[in-house]
Amino acid sequence: MYNPEVSHYPWLMINFASIAYDAPDQITNVIKNKTNNVWNVRWGPVALYSGLGVIYSLMYAAVERVTGSYAVIIRGTTMDSLEAWCDEDFRIKQQLPYNAFDPQAPGDALIARGTHDGLKDLLSMQDQKRGGISLLDFLLNVRPPKVYVAGHSLGGTLTGPMALLLQSRLQAVQPSTVVQPYSYAGLTPGNQAFASYFDARFNTAGAWRFHNTLDIAPYLWNNKQAVFDIYNPWGVGIPSAILDGLNYLTEGAPPYAQLNGNGYPLPGKWETLDIFTWEREAAHQHASTTYIKLVGDNAMPDPQPEGSWARQMWNANLQDEDC
C-alpha cells in the first residue's frame, strides 16, 4: 500500500492520464473544466493515427497556472489500436540502447524495441497549432520549474524513459528543473541496467510507479508466472489460448526489470462481473477508471481546504466514469 506525502498529485495525474483517452478535440476543455481553470493545456494534444484512422499514440502538456509547473501526459493503448499493441506493447524480443535518446545513459541500459519506437513517436510529434513545435523544444523554451510526466498502460511504460530524457535535456539548460514521473499500470520498459539507471536518477522519493496488485500488465515482462497465477486464489486459471500467446511472445526474449523496485502497490479488489471471463476481469483491473478509484481509496487526505478545486474535483470524479 502506498503512502504518498504529496497531497493530491498521485490522484490528479491518474485523472489526467485517463482524460488522455478522450477525443483529442475535447481534452483541452475537459482539463480546463475539471480543474476549474487551474490547469490549462499549452501543448497538444497531438495524436498519431494508423492507416485505419485509429489513434495509436497521443500526448499533451498542461500548465498549472499558479506554479508554472507542467504535466506531460502520455496516452495508453486502446482496445482498437492494433498498431500500438503489435508495435509497442508486444515488441519485446529485441532491446536497443537507451543512450540513443540520452547520451548520459550507460551503454548496457537497454529498452524494448517497442518502447524505443514509442518514445521515438512521441519525440516526433509537432503541435501544428503552435507553429509545429515539438514537446521538447516547447519545454526548453518555457523552462518550467517542475515537470510531471504521467501515463497509464502503454503511457505508463513510456513515462519512465520520457521522464529520464526530459530530466537530462531540461536540467542541461536549467539545473533547478525538477522532473517527477507518475506511472500507472505500466509494463517493463527495459532491462535491469536501464532500471538501475532510472532508479539512480530518480530515487524512490522522486518517482512514483503505481500498480494494481490484480492487474496483469505491470508483471509483463519480468514476472510471467505472476500473470499465470494471478487469479488462482479465486479459482480462476488463465485460459490456454492466453497462456500459449504469452509463451510465444516471451520465447527467446531478453530479461526485463521493473522501474522503482516493487513500486507502490495498490491493493486490488476482486470484482464478480455479470458476464465473467478471465479476460474481462483482467481488462477491468487494468482500466484507468479502476486505478482512479484505487488511488483515491488509498491516498492520504488532501491537506487543502474542503472548498478547494482539488477537493471538489476529487469528490466529483470518483464517481465520474468519463475520466
What is the full per-residue pLDDT of the chain (323 aa) written as tens digits?
A: 333 344 578 989 999 999 999 999 999 999 999 999 999 999 999 999 988 888 999 999 999 999 999 999 999 987 554 444 445 457 899 999 999 999 999 999 999 999 999 999 999 999 999 999 999 999 999 999 999 999 999 999 999 999 999 999 999 999 999 999 999 999 999 999 999 999 999 975 578 999 999 999 999 999 999 999 999 999 899 999 999 989 998 999 999 999 988 789 999 999 877 667 898 899 999 999 999 999 987 654 343 333 344 444 444 443 343 33
- Strand blocks (E) in the chain: 39-49, 55-64, 70-74, 95-97, 110-112, 146-152, 178-184, 208-212, 264-266
Is-contact 72 149, C-beta < 8 A? yes
Distance of CA 266 to the CA centre of its chain: 15
Count of domains observed in the chain: 1
Taking the CA atoms of 195, 201, 205 and 206 in sequence, report the sign of the dihedral they define. Answer: negative
**Domain-embedded: residue 231:** yes
CA-angle at 172, arms to 112 and 167, nearest 5°: 40
The 8 Å CB, 24+ separation contacts for 89-98 are 89/114, 89/154, 89/157, 89/187, 90/114, 90/249, 91/117, 92/221, 92/249, 92/250, 92/253, 92/256, 93/252, 93/253, 93/254, 95/190, 95/191, 95/254, 98/161, 98/164, 98/190, 98/194, 98/197
* pLDDT the model gives residue 205: 59
**Domain-embedded: residue 237:** yes
- The pair phi, psi for residue 107, each rounded to 5°, is -65, -25
**Domain-embedded: residue 139:** yes
Compute the residue count for the chain. 323
Half-sphere exposure of 26 (CA within 13 A, CB side): 11
Give the residue among 7, 6, 8, 9 at the shortest CA–CA distance from 182. 9
* pLDDT the model gives residue 204: 56
* pLDDT the model gives residue 132: 98
**Domain-embedded: residue 323:** no
**Domain-embedded: residue 1:** no
Residues 6+ apart with CB under 8 A from 286: 153, 185, 212, 215, 216, 217
Is-contact 28 316, C-beta < 8 A? no
- For 183, the grid coordinates are 506511472
* pLDDT the model gives residue 174: 97
CATH (domain of 226): 3.40.50.1820
**Domain-embedded: residue 126:** yes
**Domain-embedded: residue 4:** no
* pLDDT the model gives residue 8: 79
Say if residue 33 is exposed, middle or buried (CB neighbours under 10 Å; 0-12, 13-18, 19+): exposed
Give percent of the chain above pLDDT 90: 73
pTM: 0.89
**Domain-embedded: residue 25:** yes
233 C-beta neighbours (distance < 10 Å), count? 9
DSSP state of 170: H
* pLDDT the model gives residue 17: 97
Q: What are the tens digits of pLDDT across the range 196-233? A: 999 999 975 578 999 999 999 999 999 999 999 999 99
